[in-house]
Amino acid sequence: MPTRRLFIATIAALALGGCASLPQRDPLQVTVAGVQSLPGEGMELRLLFKLRVQNPNDDPIEFTGSYVELEVQGRTFATGVSSESGVVPAFGEAVIAVPLTVSVLRMVRQVMGVLDGEPVDRITYEMRGKLNGGAFNTVRFSSRGEFELPTSEPVTPVVD
């Protein structure tokens, strides 16, 4: 029994030491570089998001796929996956294309949330995702922000 406990304790210590020795990475900076419309099926809207991924680390990031989730006003709005593979160079950037799908039901839910009687002057969003690099090399990212909606101010006619 004591040998078995010693063996388990040694394995646990090695595992914890291995996790602690994994390199610490600065978070990726991911922004939307462009959006294009794609053909969809009946009850969905399809969009091709082009994401600019900046790597502030001294190691390149190799990936074999990606996943993106777009949340608007605190609710999931669109999701997408891509099997595109590539490399984000060390201290470099790459543009990655990910098709996102928005269901009509999600769009209706978003509109109903906006029309709940409260005035909306800002729209908040959060984009989360990952670049799949295998068991220990998957890199997750997140970015958030908001934009103000234009206000409808009364138009004053100009008299000459």
Place of tokens 């160079």: 89
Q: Give DSSP secondary structure letters for 54-123.
A: EE-SSS-EEES-EEEEEEETTEEEEEEEE---EEE-TTEEEEEEEEEEEEHHHHHHHHHHHTSSS---EE
pLDDT tens string, the chain, 160 residues long: the values are: 566 665 566 666 555 554 444 557 899 999 999 999 999 888 888 999 999 999 999 999 999 999 999 998 888 889 999 999 999 999 999 999 999 998 887 777 767 666 666 666 778 889 999 999 877 789 999 998 887 766 655 555 555 4
